[in-house]
Amino acid sequence: MSSGVIAGLFPGQGSHTGDLGERTRRAVPELVERCLELVGEDPFARVAESTRFAQPAIFCASVAGWTRRPADLRPLALAGHSLGELSALVAAEALDPLAGLTLAVRRGELMAATGEGEEGMLAVLGAEPELVSELAAAHGVVLANDNAPGQAVLAGRLDRLRKASGAARERGLRAILLDVAGAFHSPAMAPAVAPFRAALDRVEIGPGTMPVISGASARPFTDVRAELAEAIVRPVRWRATMHALGELGADTFVDFGPGSVLARLVRRNLPGAEVLGPDGPDAAEEAGDPAGPAPVPRPTRTAGIVGLGSALPEQRVSSARIAARLGVDAAWIERRTGIGERRHAAPGERVSGLAASAARMALADAGMDASQIDLVLVATLAADEITPSAAPLVAHELGMTGAAALDVGAACAGSLAALAHASSWIESGRGRNVLVIGAEILTRFLDLDDRRTAPLFGDGAGALVVSLDADGVIGPIVLGSDGGAAQAIRVTRAAGVLEMEGHETFLMAVQRLSESTAEVLELAGLTLADIDLFVYHQANSRILAAVAERLGLAPGRVFDCIARFGNTSAASVPLALGEAVRVGALAPGARVLVGAVGAGLVWGAGVLTWGEA
């Protein structure tokens, strides 16, 4: 373990990863068993659905991370972000793990119930604290999180947050309305304070073996019960908390997970600090070296992503519903795929319509008008007609006249291939702004009685605006193909349904994703340690886990959101990037490696530096 002065960090909501349940069950089986009893169902399977499930699941995972620490890891002090304060107190031995779990369950229940209304939270990126305070005051909302320089979260009524979002964009800031059901850490949570204090009064809380810094005061806890209860309505002062740990002498920070959200915030708050994971010296690689090797020379003109958008059909189809038709158990589907639900398009819904909806959102996110786009690329294998292609129809629906528009047919790797074309178009001087869209309605090609394919695929669209005027940079992208493997995944004109050899596809996907990752890193002059987040095509969770294991990556570094969307083919990578930003897994300045593999066989990988906008 590091010879530095160590502080331990425990994350809050939004830090969950795809393998949350599996890893936690292995480390603390008794705690997980008690969690299932208290919640009444498996919170790990529904962690993305509600605060009620997320808080106990993340608490258990953080305690699991603490139990895995090396014997010689002895922190000077601990801190937790919001919910993470409970796991920090458990680590300090001020709170029994089962008592802490009881509090996490109760806290999640209360905040979920209090949050059922027209309230929410808005992330504002790139602003100084004074400007964030000005936005909050002008629109009748409050500061809920001050996480790091240029990273703050507002809370309040949704109508006011939308106006604040518009005002932020007018000032050149990035604003993201978070997918949470409440104005957490604001006065709106006041009804939860008294019942949570009552729950705190029923458990024993001791002095602990090391100090725990309160995220609300940025000072060591004194009256733990009162401060934990009041923290529900007080802003999280994470920036000040990090500096308080630094002032105590900490220069090495261990993020006990899940995920690596706090590891990235360390680098933004204390750039010179060392960042580790919970598994000892080798985990230094997991948080990434903030400096890293020098990048390879870039083109004179570079392109970056400046806008994100998504569109999903309204119909949610649970794994239980598919399981009932197939005559299998829903748990069998979720265990083999990681998918809890996927979206199915309604009869008459069109790929071009989904693509246009995602594009409008991405353009709004970029602060652009459709007239500024030079090229529209739609990656799809499910265009509404054999001809015309989807792209001209999307351009027309967006009110564009004269822009180049064409489809990219590379199946699940389509969006990555389109991104390569888009960046090359801009680097060569042929244009300034390109719209990249991945859109699929794969359910029109599914045999809903086929166990190999029916549970896997979903419908949706994701869009990216790629621009010359970007803070981030699209680095090298490698692409490859092997037509000799075409039989593994195909839709023939004769059959009209998707056919897939599951085991063969699995093996090839793991091999090609791993190989293309190594290839693009070598081309970029980087190592695995230099990448903050790996965002692969969301084919199924077992493939993602196998790639992580093959590359020696901690699962928290490989983003997994397949539980909510299923395999959306060409839409997968842009949807996953948008989801990573939404949950705080992808922050400005981060290096992200994207990769995909699809029918053909085609594959690829690319390195991006994420920008402020």
Write out the catalytic residue numbers.
412, 537, 567
Q: Rounded to an integer, what distance in angstroms lies between the CA atom of residue 267 and that of residue 252?
A: 11
Contact 312, 179 (CB under 8 A): no
User: Is 58 exposed, middle or buried (CB count within 10 Å of its CB: 0-12, 13-18, 19+)?
Assistant: buried
The SS3 assignment for 120 reads: strand
- Is the sign of the CA dihedral 362, 366, 369, 371 positive or negative? negative
**DSSP secondary structure string for all residues of 125-177:** ES--HHHHHHHHHHHT-EEEEEEETTEEEEEEEHHHHHHHHHHHHHTT-EEEE
CA angle 285, 291, 294 (to 5 degrees): 110
Measured between alpha carbons, how far is 487 from 501 in angstroms, rounded to an integer?
8
DSSP letters, 403-467, are: -EEEEE--GGGHHHHHHHHHHHHHHTTS-SEEEEEEEE-GGGG--TT-TTTTTTB--EEEEEEEE
Backbone dihedral angles phi then psi of residue 274, each to the nearest 5 degrees = -90, 140
Backbone angles phi, psi at 400, to 5 degrees: -95, 140
**Of 115, 118, 138, 82, which Cα lies nearest the Cα of 190?**
115
What backbone phi and psi angles, to 5 degrees, belong to 379?
A: -90, 120
Helix, strand or coil, per DSSP, at residue 309: strand
Residue 466 near residue 426 (C-beta atoms within 8 A): yes
Greatest Cα pair distance in the chain: 72
Which are the contacts of 563, defined by CB distance < 8 A and separation ≥ 6? 18, 45, 48, 334, 338, 339, 340, 341, 541
Question: In a 3-state reduction of DSSP, which class is residue 592?
Answer: strand
* Rounded CA separation 264/239 (Å): 12
Write the burial class of residue 607 (CB in 10 Å: 0-12 exposed, 13-18 middle, 19+ buried).
buried
The pair of structure tokens assigned to 265 is 């915030």
> Before 574, cis peptide (omega within 30)?
no
Positive or negative: CA dihedral 360, 364, 612, 154: negative
Tokens of 600: 């053909």
Sheet holding 212-213, edge to edge: 212-213, 77-80, 6-10, 252-255, 274-276
Nearest to 147 by CA among 29, 46, 268: 268
